[in-house]
Amino acid sequence: MKISVIGCGYLGAVHAASMAELGHQVLGIDVDEAKVASLQRGVAPFHEPGFDDLLVKNAQRLYFTTDMAAAADAKVHFIAVGTPQSADGSADMTYVNAAIEGLIPYLSPGDLVVGKSTVPVGTAQRLSESVVSSGAILMWNPEFLREGFAVEDTLSPDRLVYGLPEGESGDAALAILDSVYELILAKQTPRLVMNFATAELVKVAANSFLATKISFINAMAEIAEVTGANVTELADAIGHDSRIGRRFLNAGIGFGGGCLPKDIRGFVARAEELGVGQSLDFLRSVDAINLRRRARVVDVVIEELGALAGKKIAVWGLAFKPDSDDIRDSPALDIVENLARAGARVIAADPQASGPARKRIEHAGLASSVTLTDDHHESARGVDAIVVATEWNVFCEEDPTAIAPLVSNKLVIDGRNTLDSKAWKAAGFTYRGMGRS
Ligand code: UDX
């Protein structure tokens, strides 16, 4: 099958390469010339495990361009552009609208346009009119991939969701997408068929649930902090109840990234527009709890060290999660900035994200008080405290006896509750976790 993928960010580029891996002839289209040039050379423009290999392995079936006219060759067109957060919290639909408008002149009757972007409920219905007027069919097929596992999640998803129009065109869309995903469906992957609105809601509902789970355990961490309880033991104990489950109950500095924070805010904004804002009032609390955790870490450092002016602090982690160089809405980067604003000299280390973080630190006017490096050992030299903000394996597995001689004060603040506290204490460190006495 000939496929076009419009938008080659984290979602689109991985989707394009994965469709080629399934044996399709794929054309990736993006307005960013540098990104297209890099993908065309087989070099990933971002860090995503396994993605480079996929690009190289499928080079014969993959082509990247900035020219939308090339989409005329394809029968199936995936829309995978971003829907960033607008100033008022709603999802900015500029790129989705532009992608559909740009694509329409190149559609042929019988083509299938498949929306993958996360959009406000009601979008597919609105867009389908113009797609249908060109003889093509629109459907919505939300993506649930996690960064760091994007390739695996695309090729072996835990479910496929098809949002279809009613009637014959819905049947035709289903048959076409089934043949695109034939190899995935052959692995008994559940395929759930529903209408447009339900499919759009599935995505934001899933992300809202995950965000709520994280903020729930972080709220428990706040209670634990004033009662002497231990939130990790609490999470282990409630997680044994299979109705609750242990996953996404890791308390710490909260969630970030390009999806959870903006998706819950966009969902709240959409519910307001629909006159049912009250239904999602709880998501405002989820957001507020999450942001409080970023401030809490800085408070813990101040509790231990007093005023931060003249203090030197290493922050381990800049990316919003390990195995990613993505710094969008990263709690780690916020903490770096807040420590620097409180007067500290910060040396921040991340195996992949120090490059991407540099621009933001400069833009924030903090270049003179924040040093960025890939090397966490180097960052620890002469510091008054180490703050662990992203749970990269190299940090979790670090031998504290190798770090002890480097620092000038043995204090470690485990923002992700990920270190072996006993080993750090045995090496002479004062250990502070989040929500743990
Ligand atoms: C998320 C969804 O998981 C994915 O299904 C959707 O398609 C896109 O958004 P992603 O943004 O890649 O994926 O990250 P995820 O693994 O969900 O983590 C989000 C954030 O939550 C990270 O900052 C992570 O550190 C944090 N987190 C996660 C916690 O603080 N505690 C946890 O227990 C789990």
> Has residue 267 been placed in a domain?
yes
How far CA 139 is from CA of 4, 157, 190, in Å, comes to 15, 18, 18
State yes or no: pLDDT of 373 exceeds 80. yes
Question: What is the extent of the structural domain holding 30?
Answer: 2-189
Q: Which protein residues touch ligand 1 with a CB less than 6 Å away?
A: 143-147, 207, 210, 214, 248-250, 252, 254-257, 259-260, 320-321
Choice among 6, 259, 269, 413 that is catalytic = 259
In ligand 1, the atom with minimum distance to the C-alpha of 247 is 33
How far CA 396 is from CA of 59, 311, 388, 389, in Å, comes to 36, 24, 9, 11
Strands ordered across the beta sheet of 160-164: 62-65, 25-29, 2-6, 76-79, 112-115, 137-140, 160-164, 191-195
Query: Which of the four pLDDT bands, split at 50, 70 and 90, describes residue 437?
Result: confident
pLDDT of res. 401: 98
pLDDT of res. 35: 97
Which residues have a Cβ under 8 Å from the Cβ of 281 and sit 6 or more positions away? none
- Which tens digit of pLDDT belongs to each residue from 165-199? 999 999 999 999 999 999 999 999 999 999 999 99
Q: Whose CA is nearest to atom 21 of ligand 1?
A: 255
237 and 172 within one domain: no
> Has residue 424 been placed in a domain?
no
157 and 224 within one domain: no
231 and 174 within one domain: no
> Has residue 292 been placed in a domain?
no
Distance 321 CA to ligand 1 centre (A): 8
What is the rounded CA–CA span in Å between residue 97 and residue 4? Answer: 17
- Domain boundary among the residues 234, 260, 286 is at 286
Distance 427 CA to ligand 1 centre (A): 32
Contact criterion met (CB below 8 Å) for 293 and 334: no
Q: What is the dihedral of CA 256, 258, 264, 265, to 10 degrees?
A: 100
160 and 87 within one domain: yes
Q: Whose CA is nearest to atom 17 of ligand 1?
A: 146
263 and 138 within one domain: no
State yes or no: pLDDT of 412 exceeds 90. yes
> Has residue 304 been placed in a domain?
no
The residue with tokens 């759009």 is: 200
- Domain boundary among the residues 286, 302, 319 is at 286
The encoded tokens of residue 186 equal 């052959």
What is the rounded CA–CA span in Å between residue 328 and residue 333? Answer: 9
Work out how many domains the chain is built from and give that number: 2
What is the rounded CA–CA span in Å between residue 219 and residue 231? Answer: 10
Distance 424 CA to ligand 1 centre (A): 27
- Domain boundary among the residues 251, 286, 321 is at 286
pLDDT of res. 134: 95
Distance 300 CA to ligand 1 centre (A): 24
240 and 180 within one domain: no
pLDDT of res. 60: 97
* Amino acid (one-letter) located at 398: E
Percentage with pLDDT > 70 across the chain:
100
What is the rounded CA–CA span in Å between residue 139 and residue 176? Answer: 11
262 and 220 within one domain: yes
212 and 183 within one domain: no
Residue to substitute in 118, 255, 262 for testing ligand 1 pocket (most ligand atoms within 8 angstroms of CB): 255
156 and 42 within one domain: yes
> Has residue 234 been placed in a domain?
yes
Q: Whose CA is nearest to atom 10 of ligand 1?
A: 146
> Has residue 219 been placed in a domain?
yes
In ligand 1, the atom with minimum distance to the C-alpha of 213 is 33
How far CA 176 is from CA of 19, 99, 382, 436, in Å, comes to 14, 21, 61, 52
- Which tens digit of pLDDT belongs to each residue from 55-91? 999 999 999 999 999 999 999 999 999 999 999 999 9
pLDDT of res. 366: 97
What does pLDDT average to over the chain?
97
Q: Whose CA is nearest to atom 18 of ligand 1?
A: 255
Which residues have a Cβ under 8 Å from the Cβ of 332 and sit 6 or more positions away? 253, 256, 315, 317, 318, 319, 320, 348, 350, 389, 390, 415
21 and 169 within one domain: yes
Distance 254 CA to ligand 1 centre (A): 9
How far CA 243 is from CA of 18, 141, 238, 247, in Å, comes to 33, 28, 9, 11
| Residue 8 appears among annotated catalytic residues | no
pLDDT of res. 326: 96
- Supply the CATH number for residue 225's domain: 1.10.1040.10
- Supply the CATH number for residue 81's domain: 3.40.50.720
What is the rounded CA–CA span in Å between residue 137 and residue 126? Answer: 13
173 and 71 within one domain: yes
Which residues have a Cβ under 8 Å from the Cβ of 115 and sit 6 or more positions away? 79, 96, 123, 124, 127, 138, 139, 140, 141, 163
| CA-wise closest residue to 79 among 59, 101, 64 | 101
> Has residue 138 been placed in a domain?
yes
Percentage with pLDDT > 90 across the chain:
100
> Has residue 337 been placed in a domain?
no
279 and 169 within one domain: no
Q: Whose CA is nearest to atom 3 of ligand 1?
A: 146
